Amino acid sequence: MVESFPWFWPRYVGVWGAISRGLSAPLPIVASEMVLPASAIRAIHVGMRSTKPFLLAALCAFAAAPMALAQRDVGPQDFDALADIGKRVERIKQYDDGPDGIGAVIAHSYTAGFKARDAVGLGLLKGRSVLVKDNIETEEWPTTAGSLALADNATRRDAPLIANLRRNGGVVLGKTNLSEWANIRDGNSTSGWSAVGGLTRNPHAIDRNACGSSSGSGAAIAAGMAWGAIGTETNGSITCPASVNGVVGFKPSVGLVSRTHVVPISSTQDTAGPMTRTVYDAALLLGAIAGEDPADPVTLGAVRVADYTEGLADHSLAGVRVGIMRKQTGERADLRDVFENALADMKAAGAILVDIEFEPDTQMYRDSFTVLKFELREEMGRYLASIPEFESGRTPRSLADLIAFNEANADAEMRWFGQDIFLEAEATTDRDAYEEARANALRIAGPETLDRLFAEHGVAVLVAPTRGPAWTSDLVNGDNYGGSIGFGSPAAIAGYPHLTVPMGAVERLPVGISFIGRKWADHEVLKMGAAYERARTAELPAPSFKRWSAD
């Protein structure tokens, strides 16, 4: 079997970011496609870097005239996609590679400029560059979920959300690293590490963690490597990396965005969502990827709006009742100080702050974990059954196959942590117990927690710190989240919208504030976040691309 691969030779960062190869001869500079065996695509995806000067020079020469013409055709606009995308590629080259690189981008395209030229004036995005988490299928590259077991997974298809993105003028700039299998393989993992991409680093302090599982998407946006990125979340995987990397992250209501051709964990909780520098950009990107999908029935009943950016620029917090989750602020005095400053900004903008003392029923978390394990086994099997046969003939078709692969390749896959959750999921087969757990989790998280708080306190939104500052990455000992901070789990379990917006920093490490709304109140939550963003007085830190120090 052969796979069609774009005519350009993209740059890839592979396992450990240490394997480098070159080409023996230049590629032909022709506007066509180059056909490579799937095995060659796999070799590129897991180990090749090519930033050949000859290719860059040829591309520039070939593209200069049409791009200059396209610039003249654009006319006066607020956003110059062609100029912007070139800067983004340069940022990737400057900050992603090498011993101090952040390792956020697994693959990127050198034809992005051509794509931006073609997309100028198209749809909502008009040629804006978007990086995509590597558990979402795009036709250009394999989709690995960070695992060597899927290194051959070049499906040559776009997930529906990516098809929507392209129709709306989005340019897929590349793929981002992630916590392998979206952090569902083992309970002692290190966020941001995958066997395919190595460890993603936080650009604000490269010895600090980027959180996960959308680690590369959050770090890349903080580093200026794309206009926007797409992450996915089951519980915290958009909002945590957005918070610790100092960017905006939005987990929409489950059902706004299709999950078809996205490597799954849980149909109950999974969703994709935008990660950007501003709330406006997040709303714009959400509108570009949202939509119905007959293959994903939950999308058919979703409540959407035509334009998620409408009203963001002038929405006011005056008279808005905001619920403050006082027991979810953790024990850090420095974090609480930053949070109190954010609350003072909202109060100064006219918001009515309502203190809420509430502890959720912890049975919700235990039942949710049962749901994740049961759905992982079933839905991973369905996903793997849908992918084309690998050229090697070793195509995994079940969770059991993935477990066996990890055992056979333990040196590469399980040096730092095991696969205890995979093993538990494979043994979670009681459907009656699953259905009871799912009903309990949804009832507790939705009606008995979020809906109750909105109704009893008459608030429009709930706020809390999203997460504490980034911890030191430690592959040997795993993650150290640093205490019980945030209130994102009920929103994740119930499928309600959750927005995080930068609110300042602790010792130059970013921290975010969460805005949680009712089911389908996505637009209202975005408007609240945009209003806070305008009212914010805190100084936000810039990435240092250095190790953290006390100086």
Enumerate the domain spans of the chain. Answer: 81-301
For residue 308, the model assigns a pLDDT of 98
* CA-wise closest residue to 204 among 445, 490, 484, 502: 502
Rounded to two decimals, what is the model's pTM?
Answer: 0.89
For residue 369, the model assigns a pLDDT of 98
Fill in the amino acid letter for 171: V
> In this predicted model, what pLDDT tens digit does every residue of 199-241 receive, in sequence order?
999 999 999 999 999 999 999 999 999 999 999 999 999 999 9
CATH code of domain 81-301: 3.90.1300.10
Please count the residues of the chain. Answer: 551
Is residue 213 annotated as part of the catalytic site, yes or no? Answer: yes
Is residue 237 annotated as part of the catalytic site, yes or no? Answer: yes
For residue 8, the model assigns a pLDDT of 28
In degrees, to the nearest 5, what angle opens at C-alpha 375 toward C-alphas 373 and 381?
110
* CA-wise closest residue to 182 among 218, 151, 147, 207: 147
Q: Which residue has the tokens 């477990």?
A: 403
* Active-site pick, 189, 194, 213, 266: 213
> In this predicted model, what pLDDT tens digit does every residue of 136-156 receive, in sequence order?
999 999 999 999 999 999 999
CB-neighbour burial class of residue 392 (10 A; exposed 0-12, middle 13-18, buried 19+): exposed
Is residue 214 annotated as part of the catalytic site, yes or no? Answer: no
Residues of the chain with pLDDT under 50: 1-77
* Active-site pick, 237, 258, 473, 514: 237
